[in-house]
Amino acid sequence: MKMRIALCSLNQTPLDWHGNMSHIRSAVRQAKSRGARIICLPELAVTGYGCEDMFYSTYVAEQAFDAVLEIARETGPEVVLLGLPLVHERLTYNAVAVLNEGKIVGLVLKSHLARDGIHYEPRWFRAWPLGKRDDYWHDGEAIPLGSLVFEGAGFRFGVEICEDAWVDDRQRPCLHLEGVHLVFNASASHFSMHKIQIRERIVKESSRRFGFAYAYANLVGCESGRAIYDGELLFATDGEIVRRSRRLYMGDWETLCWDITYEPRVPLTAISVTLEEKERGEDGLVRSTRDLPSSDEEFAAAATLGLWDYMRKARAEGFALSLSGGVDSATTAVLVRLMVERAIGAYSLDRLKEILAYLPDQPAEWTADALTHRLLVTAYQSTRNSGDVTRMAARSLAEALGARHLELDVDMVVSYYTQQIEKALGRLLTWEQDDTALQNVQARSRGPSIWMIANIENRLLLTTSNRSEVAVGYATMDGDTCGGLAPIAGVQKSFLRSWLRKLEAGSVAGYRCFPALKAVNEQQPTAELRPADREQRDEDDLMPFEVLDELERLTTGERLSPVQAYRRLKVQHHARDAYRWTRKFFRLFSVSQWKRERYAPSFHLDDRSLDPKTWARFPILSGCYERELLDLDHAHETEMGS
């Protein structure tokens, strides 16, 4: 026999009851129209996954349950799997409701809670004991709850929820699902570059090791502001992916269907779901194999999707950006242009106008140039230390992208602040004595004007710090860190430099070339905050970015001590340089945590992050590696003397 199964990805927003329910209904309708008899939606689809401490509010779970009852009343012979938070015996669980014939026929609870990286589920949810079953009482009726097998028409299935599949096989909930043909996994699994290979392996191996088909559903888009979901839907059997959907698409939902062939089995439990035979349609997504995307492609797709969702969900009327002519601001500006091009390609004109209907003055034309001009305003803000090279690089790039570009001279503001402080202190400020303060006042003088533009035009101000700078605090607080969103703060500088050069050459698959980036890529990174005769270079202030990024990986990725990181680094570099760079990195990393606490929210794009809210938690006040750096000094002296 055959059973048509559907998986749905959804672009949800935490606590957007109307919008989330609309997406759920639309996805279910689409799956039903294609003949699906069992339809699985993602984890916590009703409320959204990123509700944070709002999961403590009992009304959230109550309203979610009422919403699920609404969807249940709309179901007929089809079966719908829908995620929600559930309060059972005064404890909150992460649950999937199984709906059929107008009612909730069962509730499956998550047994393994994600607790590492960006996840914090044990703060809000209780883990359900493996294999345990119970009843949930509602309006005097008992609903089976826990580790359940569902069956009907001789077809038997079970459910896992996201992290349940990422644990050791001996701890999997599916081991307690006797004789199932298929297991669904309702997920909210965040995107990071190259993670798809791990996820795909889990899905394939689940179908191979346990002898059943495996179906995986995920969220899509920037849901709550930091995490981005790729929306990939997967079917696997016998250790092979047999159906998959596209990833990182712009849209509110997508469905993927698959016909599973099965041998009917006699009922095992009292839970029976009636499934009627339906006409089978096609959804057109037939690829089961793929070439793995490069990090360059994934970064472009995820960052542009994140910008699009953030802008439209925040109802921002576009973006404001200080365009310095350097790599970071150029990358951010290009991402906005790519976002516009993707949106135009993803939606019909009518749908695009509907999404952006909140804009008070829509563009006269809906071309990429016209829409970029409407959505992106850039400003080059010069001081006496700014050069013609960066000015022209910023201007030519803004023109090539179609942005509305402004040029502002803030040197008068810098001079005013400097003169006021000199008067107050009773002495002149000099570069020899006041280097940091004289640099910072320039960066801070640029903040008010770009904030003013953003405020006047209701735009989201983008800040352009990258992860390498975030690691060592190489930024001016309330200066170049001004902004409401830091879209590239999760990505290392060495990656961004490489990505921008590839984009200039047109070698990022799926994206066109940008020749105007040549003027940006030819420069050495510089903040241009010192006089020209001092020849300021970022890498002179810090260290080579490739080295900085490797030290950050060794510190936050492998959790090595300064001595261990030094010994790893000196394999590739001279011991004296490796020692100097390692010492500087750990000192700057430890004293810069207060800055990391104040950076604007950033997208989680890599497998690591320095965002203290979602990944790298480090004390603001610490011993600053004092003992560890003494050990480093001793190790270096010993090795150099031997």
pLDDT digits (tens, 9 = 90+) for 557-588: 999 999 999 999 999 899 899 999 999 999 99
Mean pLDDT along residues 182-194: 95
Type of residue numbered 353: K
* Six-digit token string for 266: 């006699």
Rg of the chain (C-alpha set): 27
Are 157 and 151 in contact, with CB atoms under 8 Å apart? yes
pLDDT band at residue 434, thresholds of 50, 70 and 90?
very high
361-411: pLDDT as tens digits: 999 899 999 999 999 999 999 999 898 999 999 999 999 999 999 999 999
How would you label 368-396 residue by residue, b for 16+ Cβ within 10 Å and e otherwise? Answer: beebbbbbbbbbbbbbebbeeebbebbbb
The C-alpha atoms of residue 118 and residue 366 are separated, in whole angstroms, by 38
Supply φ then ψ for residue 87, to 5 degrees.
-95, 120
The C-alpha atoms of residue 306 and residue 227 are separated, in whole angstroms, by 9
Which residues are within 8 A (CB) of 377 and not within 5 positions of it... i.e. 6 or more apart? Answer: 318, 319, 320, 321, 403, 404, 405, 406, 453, 457, 459
295-542 folds as Rossmann fold (3.40.50)
* Six-digit token string for 362: 């829509």
216-237: pLDDT as tens digits: 999 999 999 999 999 999 999 9
| Secondary structure tally for the chain: helices H, strands E | 20, 20
For the chain, what is the largest distance between any 2 Cα atoms, rounded to a whole number of angstroms?
92
pLDDT at 291: 66
Closest CA to 517 of 403, 405, 386, 401: 401
Q: Which CATH architecture has domain 2-261?
A: 4-Layer Sandwich (3.60)
Q: How far are the Cα atoms of 47, 104, 109, 578 from residue 96, in angstroms, in the given order? A: 12, 10, 6, 52
509-556: pLDDT as tens digits: 999 999 999 999 998 877 777 787 777 788 889 999 999 999 999 999
pLDDT at 188 over 70: yes
Place of tokens 């793929």: 290
The C-alpha atoms of residue 586 and residue 421 are separated, in whole angstroms, by 33
pLDDT band at residue 47, thresholds of 50, 70 and 90?
very high
pLDDT above 70: percentage of residues in the chain: 96
Mean pLDDT along residues 303-310: 98
Are 217 and 41 in contact, with CB atoms under 8 Å apart? yes
Are 264 and 154 in contact, with CB atoms under 8 Å apart? yes
Give the chain's mean pLDDT: 93
Mean pLDDT along residues 467-495: 94
pLDDT at 87: 97
pLDDT above 90: percentage of residues in the chain: 87
pLDDT at 490 over 70: yes
H helix or E strand, kind and range, residue 594? helix 593-596
pLDDT at 613 over 90: no
Kindly tell me the sign of the dihedral angle through the C-alpha atoms of 558, 562, 564, 568.
positive
pLDDT at 286: 43
Q: What angle do CA 466, 473, 448 make, to 5 degrees?
A: 75
Helix, strand and coil percent figures for the chain, each rounded to 5: 40, 20, 40
pLDDT band at residue 275, thresholds of 50, 70 and 90?
very low
Strand 38-40 with 2-10, pairing: parallel
Place of tokens 């929210």: 601
Type of residue numbered 196: I
pLDDT at 278: 37
Q: What angle do CA 492, 307, 602 make, to 5 degrees?
A: 45
pLDDT at 277 over 60: no
Could you tell me the residue ranges of all domains in the chain? Answer: 2-261, 295-542
pLDDT at 637: 92
Type of residue numbered 173: P
Asked if domains 2-261 and 295-542 share a fold, the reply is: no
pLDDT at 281: 39
pLDDT at 617: 86
pLDDT band at residue 276, thresholds of 50, 70 and 90?
very low
Q: Fill in the DSSP letter of residue 554.
A: I
Q: Point out which residues pair with 234 in neighbouring strands.
A: 216, 244
* Six-digit token string for 123: 């703060």
The C-alpha atoms of residue 596 and residue 473 are separated, in whole angstroms, by 8
Kindly report the length of the chain: 642
pLDDT at 606: 86
Q: Point out which residues pair with 133 in neighbouring strands.
A: 146
